[in-house]
Amino acid sequence: MLKHLTIFSLLALMSSCASTDKPEDKLSGSVDSLLSLMTLEEKIGQLSLYTSDWDVTGPTMREGYKEDIRKGRVGAIFNAFTAKYTRELQQLAVEQTRLKIPLLFGYDVVHGHRTIFPIPLGQAASWDMEAIERADRIAAEEASAEGIHWTFAPMVDIARDPRWGRMAEGSGEDTYLGSQIAAARVRGFQGKGYGDVGAVLACVKHFAAYGAPQAGREYHSVDMSERMFRDVYLPPYAAAVKAGSATVMSSFNDYDGVPATASEYLLNEVLRKELKFDGFVVSDYTSVMELIPHGVAADTASAAALALTAGLDMDMQAGFYQDALPRLVKEGKIKESLIDQSVRRILRKKFELGLFKDPYRFSDTQREQSTVMKPEFLEAARDMSRKSIVLLKNEGGDKAILPLSKNVKQLAVIGPLANARRDMIGSWSAAGDWKKSVTLLEGIKAAVSPATKVSYAKGCSITGDSTQYLAEAIRLARQADVVVLAVGEGGLMTGEAASRTSLDLPGIQQRLVEEIQKTGKPVVVVLMNGRPLTITWINDHAPAILETWYLGTQAGHAIADVLFGDYNPSGKLPVTFPRVVGQVPIYYSMKNTGRPLEVNNKYTSKYIDEVNTPLYPFGYGLSYTTFSYEAPVLSSNTMTSRDTLDVSVKITNSGSKEGVEVVQLYVKDEVGSVTRPVMELKGFQKVSLKPGESKEIHFRLCNSDLSFYRKDMTFGSEPGKFRVFAGGNSRDVKQAEFELK
Ligand code: GLC
């Protein structure tokens, strides 16, 4: 035990002898100095991460994690929060272990910590990078004020199969949008840079291609061509690494037959060599252990050796590094230098967070009390929630049912999600206090005039077939002037381990909708869901439909803001809505095939029982006003790979209300050495327009926008004809052409 010199002063002394005073070298000096003092067991302790018992986010718990801390057998704890509790655990490490190395505290702060923002799929529907970055900045402020150093976010897995429940946690189907959001979220979490006490380490996940499990079934195998991986799934991870994500989490799935957690190709080749990632890689929950059921490891020792050799630095919750590495080193099967390499990567982050200077700097109850759920955070959440809402239907032009009047006499609020407090914060809602979330019923009551009579009936449960509440709902609907009907999935029916084989409304909700429709009253359907749902009947019968995802703490107020026109909806779908689950996977950037659809030609690519088109296309969303587009104007009809091409799009607010539109720019490569998608998003801009106002929106295309993995797997463009599309979604577009010389 070090008697007089504490480890910190010893390190200061040793690192002051570092070769140069460049911060980088000094830091390396400190890390190497500390490493030189560590025993093999202490090193392996730094490679182990265990959950506390404050939250459950996986299949196993760790009895005696406090003892692990005392014995230096663990370097990081997750699912522990509050300044008080993290301080208590930190004391065990810093006061009771030989080298007093501080713990790292991680948590799934995915869409807010205490103030909960819309689920990430909902935030993606805002197409608002500033708002998304701000949401995660606030999440980081709150989390770091509760002792958390590290969030297991952003999740950037591209997802094109809504049967997979974790589509809710990401940014949807598109590579370009997903990459922009990935970078914005890393900036949000890491702020001015980790080391700032209001920032947390980001952890881009799940590397890689976890969003493409076979049949949308959770944890299922992933198999795709390297071209598909590199063109579609890899870029968002790359964008997050480029934005400086401090850490990466390996995914549960195998890729090309090798579990990501033990994939030298993914972790060393792609992540470290190609993407120049220099942080540390943590496994997903027990995924080192899962190499055994994957069938690539026969026992603990081979699983640990495979993962460490592949570049997996930290073992989350399996305890396989702790159990097997000492012996593997002693038997000469694993070099200690490999362990040193991973320990260095982890210690660097602890130094960069300032934990060796002050291990308790994040565990400050004063800061916690003054930071958590500040009014401006709640206002930001309401703003983000409003921006996430997508208006899917509002028929009738000037006579449309929305926006509603606040002076409506009788308003019936019906449905199992109309007053569902817990569901508002959705899955992965960290330490969010659901008891503080605002329900739709409360939001409506707060918005309408005192003269309005608001009635409420559940109508039915989210799941189950009981019809006992139906009659009351029908009765209230009959008495009302207008009905707001909230249906969808339970807040935990998406997220991890929540795949579904159907995308229909669960339970008897469809029956509820039909019964309310039969009353003949004007109905606004408010959807609450974490994935696209097959709501074709609702689309055919309801006059108005709002997609509201799970909007978080301020859900009710945000939906009311849109319902009553205090906010003109501007959201656009980040995922395609199928008509039926049999169309899945369905997404806008499909291939044309050799027999593209000809409706009257049997021998073309189609179904015999359903059309090819989705119910709602990617990028779709309406407004209380209308926008008209002119065809894109190009600065030239040719360009070379060395220059750029300017595209301007004139858009006009042709309606009667001020509104915000997301102008989208798509590109199609007409002929390539391999088949190319019918179009790909290459730019978007949000623009606000007053009634009658027009604006020119400018985009600049460069060679990288036209580049892809060619037949020989080199990345680049190919000369030939291209089409440019511009519009308010991926279907209703105007176009122009140019040639790449
Ligand atoms: C879970 C999730 C991962 C999460 C981790 C820790 O299984 O797959 O996204 O960060 O475990 O909770």
User: Is 442 strand, coil or helix?
Assistant: helix
The yes-or-no verdict on residue 195 having pLDDT over 90 is no
Nearest partner of 348 among 705, 14, 5, 26, judged by Cα: 26
pLDDT at 541: 98
* HEC readout, 337-373: HHHHHHHHHHHHHHHHCCCCCCCCCCCCHHHHHHHCC
What values do phi and psi take at 493, rounded to 5?
Answer: -85, 0
DSSP structure string for 466-484: --TTHHHHHHHHHH-SEEE
Which residue type does 402 have?
L
Mutate to test the pocket of ligand 1, among 51, 53, 56, 108 (most ligand atoms within 8 A of CB): 108
The yes-or-no verdict on residue 13 having pLDDT over 60 is no
Residue 121: pLDDT band by 50, 70, 90 thresholds?
A: very high
Express each pLDDT in 303-312 by its tens digit: 999 999 999 9
Cite the DSSP H helix spans in 353-494.
Answer: 365-371, 375-388, 440-447, 470-479
Distance from the CA of 169 to the center of ligand 1, in angstroms? 11
User: Is 52 strand, coil or helix?
Assistant: coil
Instruction: Return the H-helix or E-strand segment holding 306.
Output: helix 300-310
Count Cβ atoms below 10 Å from residue 416 Cβ, excluding itself.
26
Q: What is the average pLDDT across 386-397?
A: 97
Express each pLDDT in 550-570 by its tens digit: 999 999 999 999 999 999 999
pLDDT at 1: 38
Distance from the CA of 47 to the center of ligand 1, in angstroms? 17
pLDDT at 559: 99
Mutate to test the pocket of ligand 1, among 79, 169, 285 (most ligand atoms within 8 A of CB): 285
Express each pLDDT in 261-282 by its tens digit: 999 999 999 999 999 999 999 9
Express each pLDDT in 395-449 by its tens digit: 998 899 999 999 999 999 999 999 999 999 999 999 999 999 999 999 999 999 9
CB 462 within 8 A of CB 489: yes
| Portion of the chain with pLDDT greater than 90, in percent | 94
What domains appear along the chain, each with residue ranges and CATH number? Answer: 1-107+336-364 (no CATH), 252-334 (no CATH), 388-583 (3.40.50.1700), 627-740 (2.60.40.10)
Orientation angle between helical segments 375-388 and 555-563, nearest 10 degrees: 50
The yes-or-no verdict on residue 33 having pLDDT over 60 is yes
pLDDT at 62: 84
Q: Whose CA is nearest to atom 10 of ligand 1?
A: 152
pLDDT at 7: 53
Distance from the CA of 428 to the center of ligand 1, in angstroms? 9
| Portion of the chain with pLDDT greater than 70, in percent | 97
The yes-or-no verdict on residue 4 having pLDDT over 70 is no
Q: Whose CA is nearest to atom 8 of ligand 1?
A: 284
Residue 10: pLDDT band by 50, 70, 90 thresholds?
A: low
Is beta strand 659-669 parallel, antiparallel or unpaired with respect to 720-727?
antiparallel
Atom number in ligand 1 closest to CA 169: 9
Q: What is the mean pLDDT of the chain?
A: 96
Mutate to test the pocket of ligand 1, among 57, 111, 250 (most ligand atoms within 8 A of CB): 57
222 strand-pairing partners: 255
284 is catalytic: yes
pLDDT at 18: 43
Distance from the CA of 58 to the center of ligand 1, in angstroms? 7
What's the helix, strand, coil split of the chain in %, to 5?
35, 20, 45
Calpha distance 200→183 (Å, rounded): 15
pLDDT at 494: 97
Calculate the CA 289 to chain-centre distance: 26
CB 119 within 8 A of CB 493: no
CB 2 within 8 A of CB 97: no
CB 615 within 8 A of CB 503: no
Which among 157, 254, 284, 364 is annotated as catalytic?
Answer: 284
- The number of residues in the chain equals 741
The yes-or-no verdict on residue 3 having pLDDT over 50 is no
CB 398 within 8 A of CB 656: yes
Burial of 595 (0-12, 13-18, 19+ CB in 10 A): exposed
Residue entry with tokens 């039915």: 460
Orientation angle between helical segments 300-310 and 320-330, nearest 10 degrees: 90
pTM for the predicted model, two decimal places: 0.97
pLDDT at 5: 43
Please state whether the peptide bond connecting residue 585 to the residue before it is cis, i.e. omega within 30 degrees of 0.
Answer: yes
Calculate the CA 300 to chain-centre distance: 32
Question: CB under 6 Å to ligand 1: residues?
Answer: 57-58, 108, 152, 205, 284-285, 496
Residue 17: pLDDT band by 50, 70, 90 thresholds?
A: very low
Tally of helices (H runs) and strands (E runs) in the chain: 22, 27
Count Cβ atoms below 10 Å from residue 26 Cβ, excluding itself.
16
Q: Quick one: DSSP state of residue 717? A: -
Dihedral (C-alpha) 724, 729, 730, 735: value to the nearest 10 degrees?
-30
Calpha distance 703→684 (Å, rounded): 17
Sign of the C-alpha dihedral computed for residues 492, 494, 497 and 500 taken in this order: positive
The yes-or-no verdict on residue 142 having pLDDT over 60 is yes
Express each pLDDT in 691-724 by its tens digit: 999 999 999 999 999 999 999 999 999 999 999 9
Calpha distance 736→641 (Å, rounded): 19
Express each pLDDT in 467-524 by its tens digit: 999 999 999 999 999 999 999 999 999 999 999 999 999 999 999 999 999 999 999 9
DSSP structure string for 511-556: HHHHHHHHTT--EEEEEE-SS----HHHHHH-SEEEE-----TTHH
CB 579 within 8 A of CB 615: yes
Atom number in ligand 1 closest to CA 206: 9
pLDDT at 24: 72
Q: What is the average pLDDT across 150-165?
A: 98
Q: Quick one: DSSP state of residue 263? A: -
The yes-or-no verdict on residue 160 having pLDDT over 70 is yes
